Structure 1
Amino acid sequence: MSNQNQLAIIQKDITDSVNHKLNDLQKEGLVIPPKYNASNALKSAFFKLQETKDKSGRPALEVCTKESIANSLLDMVVQGLSPAKTQCYFVVYGTQLKMERSYFGTQAVLKRLTNVKDIWANVIFEGDVFDYEIDGGREKLLKHETNFLNRDKDILGAYAVVKTNDDEEILTVMTRKEIDIAWGQSKTSQGVHKKFPQEMAKRTVINRAAKAYINTSDDSDLLVDAINRSTENEYENERKEVNPEYEAQKEIEQKANQELIDIKRSEPLRKQPEIIDVTEGNQASTQQRNKETQQEDVVDSKTNGPNW
């Protein structure tokens, strides 16, 4: 069987499994955006996946498990994202594929929430006039004046604003030190942050704003869970520092109850690694594999620059 035929079979198996699971989630109450075409998004994703490689230059479709590919695509569809619109991209961690949102993707996802009208972010440069206050216990933007020439100066911080349907503006501010700490926890190559600091700063602060707002929203748990998974894919230890007891308990529950999409097996492009079942006493092996996986460098599908 030719390599092209194998790719076609893998694509069909995974797409069928994702669509089947998506139908089940819709029966449970998941609402897909009316103008979102899941089939087109999946086709676009597979085009991107054929370009995605790991650290050693091996194709993602060869080294990643089908389960991780399927679950990444499912998270993409649940959030209503499309790689064709640079709203998301795929990265390889060992044998696992992860879907991560771009700056545009986080904006699109937040606008799906019931009480969000708009969201935007800006960078504060040296020489800017920036002022905000605490009003009723909440941060409120008072002024941000900048100059075109300031864009070449040092970044002092960034902020994001979530505008609700009631025209209330919820402000999130991060200093440069806070941004650097977040970047230090990121799985993304530090070279990307140095090459595109302005866009990466906006992406970081908008993710912070989104995280706080999403976890207090009344929207579908299915959507919120998918959004949080995509955000957590980008960071090593961010949530553990916020609440280590909660994170430890959540990890235990996830390992005990995690449900992977059932993929119909077809002839693989190469031998797939054995999936260890932690419920049969192999926790130590799983932890070692996770440790090795986290040490993998991230390789984007495009090396020319990130998708915002």
Structure 2
Amino acid sequence: MIKSMEGEIAKALPSVITPERFTRITLSALSTNPKLSECSANSFLGAMMTAAQLGVEPNTPLGQAYLIPYRNHGRLECQFQLGYKGLIDLAYRSGEVKMIQAHTVYENDDFTYELGLEPKLHHIPAKSDRGAPIFFYAVFHTKDDGYGFEVMSIEDVQTHAQKYSKSYGNGPWQTNFEEMAKKTVLKRVLKYAPLKSDFVRAISTDETIKDTISDDMFAEPDVTIVDSETGEVVAASEGGET
């Protein structure tokens, strides 16, 4: 089915990724995580085409995006997730941002910040023995010299993820907490950036399951079913990033 979709993949992909490379990446994801091959074919193809239209490589060391098997009301389906590096790439591609970064602050770093009319952010990493993570922050500068930053404590991130993330407690939240924390603070700070509607539509695909395919995957509905008792989507036992 993936091979048969190469024509559609070619039309969806930006010039930075060839259809052949994207197909190889997708097949590699299947061989690395066998649970993906047990997902419904439509949801896998939907996640694959979402990644293609965004121009991000799923399940590679680049950390741009992930195809993750999830148990969606008893049915194994494939969820698309953006990585924080994919989020950064999309922000740069918007053409409005000249710099965007996300960092982890450890307990032995020199770190202070102030809000108010003259906000300030100061971070000097410790040269060694930085200790445990305590804060995460993201900062952006626009091409017209505007800027913004957002700081979240590790407790802030955990509380936010428990409330808003369908996948908290599973997948990348367990295997790469710092990456997911950086993505969380990036999404929060980018709410204040003057980015175009195309970018907003792109990040709306994060943590979605789509079982229909079209020339505009952003418009396709998210078919995730949230458990009425727990309010969560239950992950497959072998889910997560690969």
**Which residue pairs with 1:228 in the alignment?**
204
Following the alignment from structure 2 to structure 1, what is the Cα–Cα distance between the partners of residues 115 and 128? 30
1:217 Cα deviation from its structure 2 partner? 2.3
Distance of aligned partners of 1:37 and 1:170 in 2 relative to their CA distance in 1, 3 Å threshold: farther
2:122 to 116, 131, 143: 143
Q: Is the 8 A contact 1:163 1:170 kept in 2?
A: yes
Following the alignment from structure 1 to structure 2, what is the Cα–Cα distance between the partners of residues 119 and 133? 19
Distance of aligned partners of 1:99 and 1:93 in 2 relative to their CA distance in 1, 3 Å threshold: same
Long gaps (5+) in structure 2:
215-222
Following the alignment from structure 1 to structure 2, what is the Cα–Cα distance between the partners of residues 261 and 72? 9
Q: Is the 8 A contact 1:126 1:150 kept in 2?
A: no
Structure holding more strand per residue: 2
Secondary structure of the 1:167 match is coil
User: How many residue pairs end up in the alignment?
Assistant: 222
Structure 2 residue identity aligned to 1:87:
Q
Q: How does the TM-score come out when normalised to structure 1?
A: 0.60
Mapped pair 1:218 → 2:190: no
1:35 Cα deviation from its structure 2 partner? 2.8
Structure 1 residue identity aligned to 2:93:
R
Aligned ranges 1:1-308 → 2 under 5 Å: 10-19=1-10, 22=12, 33-54=14-35, 60-61=36-37, 63-83=38-58, 84=60, 85-94=62-71, 95-136=76-117, 140-152=119-131, 154-185=132-163, 186=165, 187-189=167-169, 193=173, 196-210=176-190, 212-213=191-192, 217-220=195-198, 224-230=200-206, 232-233=207-208, 260-261=212-213, 291=227, 294-297=233-236, 299-302=239-242
CA RMSD for the aligned pairs? Answer: 3.3
Secondary structure of the 2:144 match is coil
Structure holding more helix per residue: 1
1:97 Cα deviation from its structure 2 partner? 0.7
Following the alignment from structure 2 to structure 1, what is the Cα–Cα distance between the partners of residues 70 and 177? 24
1:120 Cα deviation from its structure 2 partner? 0.8
1:174 Cα deviation from its structure 2 partner? 0.7
Following the alignment from structure 2 to structure 1, what is the Cα–Cα distance between the partners of residues 108 and 136? 14
Structure 2 residue identity aligned to 1:299:
G
**Which residue pairs with 2:220 in the alignment?**
none
Distance of aligned partners of 1:64 and 1:191 in 2 relative to their CA distance in 1, 3 Å threshold: closer
Q: Is the 8 A contact 1:67 1:260 kept in 2?
A: yes
Structure whose CA Rg is larger: 1
Instruction: Note the alpha carbon deviations across 1:111-159, whole angstroms, 9 max, x for none.
Output: 11120112111222224332333354xx83332233133522x322111
Q: Is the 8 A contact 2:46 2:211 kept in 1?
A: no
Instruction: Note the alpha carbon deviations across 1:205-264, whole angstroms, 9 max, x for none.
Output: 223334x257x52243xx53232111x449xxxxxxxxxxxxxxxxxxxxxxx98227xx
Following the alignment from structure 1 to structure 2, what is the Cα–Cα distance between the partners of residues 123 and 294? 28
Distance of aligned partners of 1:68 and 1:17 in 2 relative to their CA distance in 1, 3 Å threshold: farther
Q: How does the TM-score come out when normalised to structure 2?
A: 0.74
Structure 1 residue identity aligned to 2:64:
Q
Long gaps (5+) in structure 1:
1-9, 23-31, 55-59, 235-257, 263-285, 303-308
Following the alignment from structure 1 to structure 2, what is the Cα–Cα distance between the partners of residues 301 and 142? 32
Distance of aligned partners of 1:34 and 1:70 in 2 relative to their CA distance in 1, 3 Å threshold: same
Secondary structure of the 2:128 match is helix
